Amino acid sequence: MKRLPVLAILLGVGGLVPFLGMTVGILFFPAAVPVPRLVPALIDYGAVILSFLGAVHWGLALAGDPLGVPAQPRALRLRLGLGVLPALVGWAALLVLLVGRPLPALLLLAAGFALVSVAEVRARRHGLMPPGYLSMRHLLSAVVLLCLLAVLVARLA
């Protein structure tokens, strides 16, 4: 599969709507204004999406050999690990938020998204990722990171 299905691209871009909407709401309403709890909602959604990114790699590991790559125990371990670690980072961000620390939670999520992107680039170099996937992931992850970092900077200022 050299190109991603159009529906996958549309759904991926659609997944940015909550990030963008909450970020705009957070940036235009000062922290003292009790608008809907947008920062916790952003962190919650970010944790869910980060878990979803891990699920892609879990699925690739369980699918066997969809990319024509010979099954290698090391590659399987890396895929399974990359399938689980983003969910754990998202969960950690939720725990940090639960104890009333939204800014470290935002930073943790941003780090999680960035590290998944780095891991995916490395996996692609070894032929472990579908060709069209990374182009879309990089664009989506860049927007997510910009949203998370914009909120972090705005709340620090």
Q: How far is CA 49 from the centre of its chain?
A: 5
Is 67's pLDDT higher than 60? no
103 residue type, one letter: L
Convert the pLDDT of each residue in 90-129 to its tens digit. Answer: 999 999 999 999 999 999 999 999 999 999 988 888 777 8
Give this prediction's pTM: 0.88
Cα–Cα dist 65/71, whole Å: 7
What would the mean pLDDT of 72-89 be, rounded to a whole number? Answer: 86
Which residue did the predictor score with more confidence, 130 or 21? 21
The pLDDT, as a whole number, for residue 85 is 94
Is 71's pLDDT higher than 80? no
The pLDDT, as a whole number, for residue 18 is 97
How sure is the predictor about 1, in pLDDT bands with cuts at 50, 70 and 90? Answer: very low
Cα–Cα dist 53/82, whole Å: 9
Cα–Cα dist 68/92, whole Å: 35
